[in-house]
Amino acid sequence: MIELKVPDMTCGHCASTITKAVKELDASAKVEVSLPEHRVRVDGKASKEDLVRSIAEAGYTPEAI
Ligand SMILES: [Cu+2]
């Protein structure tokens, strides 16, 4: 389980864009988004570095925590 903070993830559209960015790395990943906490939890094969890069490429600023 990898957990990232994404402060600029603020609505359902952001959540679905970020979920898509994660699934592009690992289609079978389990992605859990908490909008109030601005957190993304990923259960899958992608590394934290790759997740950060992919979410950043989607236009957000993820922080490893
Ligand atoms: Cu949004």
Note the pTM of the prediction, 2 decimals.
0.94
CATH number of the domain bearing residue 7:
3.30.70.100
- Residue 37: count of CB within 10 angstroms of its CB: 12
CA of 8 from ligand 1 middle (Å) equals: 8
DSSP result, 3-61:
EEE-TT--SHHHHHHHHHHHHHH-TT-EEEEETTTTEEEEESS--HHHHHHHHHHTT--
Give the count of domains, the chain: 1
- Give pLDDT, residue 4: 98
pLDDT value at residue 65: 85
Q: What is the DSSP letter of 63?
A: E
Look at residue 38 in the predicted model and tell me its pLDDT: 98
Per residue in 22-56, pLDDT (tens digit) is 999 999 999 999 999 999 999 999 999 999 999 99
Q: How far is the CA of 15 from the centre of ligand 1 (A)?
A: 7
Residues, Cβ < 5 Å to ion ligand 1: 10-11, 13-14
Residue 26 sits in which domain range?
2-64
pLDDT tier at 62, thresholds 50, 70, 90: very high
Rounded distance from Cα 10 to ligand 1 centre (Å)? 5
CA of 58 relative to ligand 1 center, distance in Å: 12
Angstrom distance (rounded) from CA 1 to CA 60:
20
